[in-house]
Chains A and B, each alone.
Chain A
Amino acid sequence: MSNSDQFPVEIEQPHHKGNGSGNIFSRVFDELTAFCRSRSMFILHYCTGCGAIELPPAMTSRFDMERLGVSPMVSPRQADILLITGYVSVKTLKRVLLTYEQMGSPKYVIGICSCTVNGGMYWQSYATAKKLNDYMPVDLYIAGCMPRPEAVITGLRELMEKIRKGEANGWQDYYRRYDYYLGHQQRLFGETWQTPTNVVGEARHYGLLGDETQGVHTELLKRHQKPLEALEMRLSPADKAEMEL
């Protein structure tokens, strides 16, 4: 279930745990927060494929995820976990990335179904992103076509355990190795790809600038990046013409 056995993906471990290794009070506080994080997980399910059908039984009376503290949320700002339930087409992946970058850290990604692991039955498709962890850090894969609700619950419990121990640090990996992920994104979407989020700036804010945060791909991004502008408030051209008459 964990991705480290099957794929040579190096998720960098934090150099120091928490921010107050010396102070006993801050360590207690860190542990309390980690415990609460593990017991309260708001999921945003991005139901891209058939795996979505396994979530209703996992949520409702048969398996009841709420007893683990897992509850569904509807907006990326409120959520902790991005649940991707199936194949991700190239077009969908853009939306998934936009959603992921808007979520508040610490955030976790779960890939459900074989399609997120290696493309699954869409291996030969020209329009499907094969390995999800090329484009964003995935904390946990739940393999299967499709995994049964028991497997989904087991996976969530495993993630809970990882969060409690402070090992689910995929979100930090996205900042530390942004250049790597951006490279894969550019390979798929073309070199003009950009998102509204300033990931390098955020990495600097959290103190998570790594050796691979900036590189050739972020240079390419800088060259093509257009500054974001607020949408202009105006009537449609037809209305404007009517008003001028």
Chain B
Amino acid sequence: MHWAELLFELTVMPLVAFLVGLFMVLMMRKIGARLQRRVGPPLMQPLYDIVKLYGKRTQTSHGLLHEIGIVMAVGGYVAAETLLPVPGMNGIAEKGGMITLLYLTMIPSLGMALGVGQCANPNGSIGISRALTAMLAYDIPFVIVIAGVAMHFGTTNLVDVITQQQAGGFETWGISQMPLLALAGLFALQGMLGKQPFEIYVAPAEIATGPMVEMGGKFLGGLFVMQCFQLYTASVLYVTLFLGGGENWITFLAKAFAVLVIPISVAFLFPRYRTEDMITMLWKWPVVLGLLGLVFVGS
């Protein structure tokens, strides 16, 4: 591949991800509003929020790590987008693969931990300890799912995974080949997005939005941008692993948005679990489902 073409893809892929992510945030807020019989925010609301936050006159920084933490949180996802193949663009997906992607999706949590640590706010510290605990909880089923998918397709290369799934239509999709793993993946997705009932680390009424408590202005704006990337990464990863990626942009976006409807709808219907309940739940049901799925994949 020519280097200019590669550079173009590496630039465009995160930008597209951000744009799609904005609409995903809008969809999330709209679904929440409709479930509560409200009208919900206007079309451009996520963008207004981000521009407003970056346009604040006061930017209260708590030090260098506070700023680096936000850069890591956004940067981890920006790097992850270049490893996620989209229709027509593969970026560096062929060189990365699932395992690199798995590592990269952890960087934002670690970056936030660094940044929040310097804020020295007790609510923030509680929030970040819960966020890392949550990561421990959902990563076990997530790793099982990734391992199962890699075993089934015989590769960790996401481009190959998509090609194999698209070879025979719905019959060869991950979801029809490995339904148990797909179900376990949905559980992990819910934990990964940090949505109710696993919304333990934001918890506005309990620990004042946890990691976000000391964030104002551009710092909160950075986290809003991160949320766009987070929704995009999680749903596109699921689409890539189980729904055959995208043949073209229309089916790709339709699948990505459809996948996201499930965790979001669940989120607005459930209250919040306690931390230990979340771990118990995520280490029990999705792990059992995932291990059963592994047995079927192996046999």
User: Which residues of A line the B interface, CB within 8 A?
Assistant: 32-33, 36-37, 39-40, 60-61, 64, 66-67, 69, 73-75, 77-78, 80, 103-106, 206
Interface of A: prevailing SS: loop
A104 contacts B217, C-beta separation under 8 Å: yes
A104 contacts B42, C-beta separation under 8 Å: no
Query: In the complex, which residues 40-74 of chain B have their Cβ closer than 8 Å to any Cβ of chain A?
Result: 40-42, 44-45, 47-49, 51-52, 55-60
* Contact A75 B29, CB 8 Å, known A36-B51, A104-B58, A106-B56: no
Q: In whole Å, how far is B209's beta carbon from the nearest beta carbon of chain A?
A: 6
A36 contacts B55, C-beta separation under 8 Å: yes
For B57, the chain A residues whose CB sits under 8 A away are: 104-106, 206
Quick one: closest A residue to B53, CB to CB?
Answer: A40
Interface of B: prevailing SS: loop
- Counting chain B residues whose Cβ lies within 8 A of the other chain, the interface size class is 20 to 34
Query: In the complex, which residues 196-215 of chain B have their Cβ closer than 8 Å to any Cβ of chain A?
Result: 204-205, 208-209, 212-215
B39 contacts A67, C-beta separation under 8 Å: yes
B55 contacts A104, C-beta separation under 8 Å: no
Quick one: closest B residue to A107, CB to CB?
Answer: B58
B33 in the interface (beta carbon within 8 A): yes
* A to B contact number (C-beta, < 8 Å): 85
Q: How far is the CA of A78 from the CA of B59 in the complex (A)?
A: 11
* Contact A66 B51, CB 8 Å, known A40-B45, A61-B38, A104-B58: no
Q: In whole Å, how far is A5's beta carbon from the nearest beta carbon of chain B?
A: 29
For B217, the chain A residues whose CB sits under 8 A away are: 104
CB pairs A–B below 8 angstroms (24 shown): A33-B52, A36-B47, A36-B52, A36-B55, A39-B42, A39-B44, A39-B52, A40-B48, A40-B49, A40-B51, A60-B36, A66-B29, A67-B41, A69-B42, A69-B45, A69-B48, A74-B209, A75-B212, A75-B214, A77-B214, A77-B220, A103-B216, A104-B58, A206-B57
